[in-house]
Amino acid sequence: MRVLLITKKLPFPARDGETIALTNMLDHYKAIGATLTVMSMQTPKHPYGTENIPESYSHVSFHVVNVAMESPRWRYFSNLFSRQPIHVERFYQPSFAKALEALLSSSDFDIIQLEGLVLLSYLPIIRKASKARVIYRSHNVEGLIWQRLSGSSKGLFFRWYYNLQGRRLWRWERENFDTADAVLAISRDDADTYSKWNPRFSVSYLPVSMPAIPESNSGPIPTSAAFIGALDWLPNRNGLERYLQDAWPGVVEAMPEATLHIAGRHAPDNWPAVLPPGVIWHGEVENAHAFMQQYAVVVVPLWAGSGLKIKVVEAIAAGIPVVTTPVGAEGLPEGAAALLQVGNTSKELAAVTIACLQEPDKARAQAEQLRAFVRKDLSASAVQATLLQCITQWSDR
Q: What pLDDT, on the 0 to 100 scale, is given for residue 225?
A: 98
Query: What one-character-per-residue DSSP string does 268-295 give?
Result: -TTHHHHPPTTEEEEES-S-HHHHHTTE
| Span 350-369, average pLDDT | 96
The CATH number that domain 2-208+379-396 falls under is 3.40.50.2000
CA 187 to chain centre: 10
Q: What pLDDT, on the 0 to 100 scale, is given for residue 104?
A: 98
Q: What pLDDT, on the 0 to 100 scale, is given for residue 285?
A: 92
pLDDT tops 70 at residue 70: no
The tens digit of pLDDT for each residue in 198-221 reads: 999 999 999 999 888 888 878 899
The CATH number that domain 221-378 falls under is 3.40.50.2000
Q: Where are the domains of the chain?
A: 2-208+379-396, 221-378
Residues 375 and 240: their CA atoms lie apart, in Å, by 28
Q: With bands split at pLDDT 50, 70 and 90, how would you rate the model's confidence at 71?
A: low
The tens digit of pLDDT for each residue in 382-395 reads: 999 999 999 988 87
| Span 135-144, average pLDDT | 92
DSSP secondary structure code for residue 318 in this structure: T
Residues 254 and 387: their CA atoms lie apart, in Å, by 47
Pairing relationship of beta strands 322-324 and 259-263 according to DSSP bridges: unpaired
> Comparing 350 with 397, which gets the higher pLDDT?
350
Q: What pLDDT, on the 0 to 100 scale, is given for residue 134?
A: 97
Q: With bands split at pLDDT 50, 70 and 90, how would you rate the model's confidence at 75?
A: confident
| Lowest-pLDDT choice from 237-251, 268-282, 319-333 | 268-282
Q: What pLDDT, on the 0 to 100 scale, is given for residue 87?
A: 87
Strand arrangement, sheet containing 279-283: 279-283, 259-263, 221-228, 295-300, 322-324, 341-342
| Span 334-359, average pLDDT | 93
Pairing relationship of beta strands 295-300 and 322-324 according to DSSP bridges: parallel
Q: What pLDDT, on the 0 to 100 scale, is given for residue 72?
A: 63
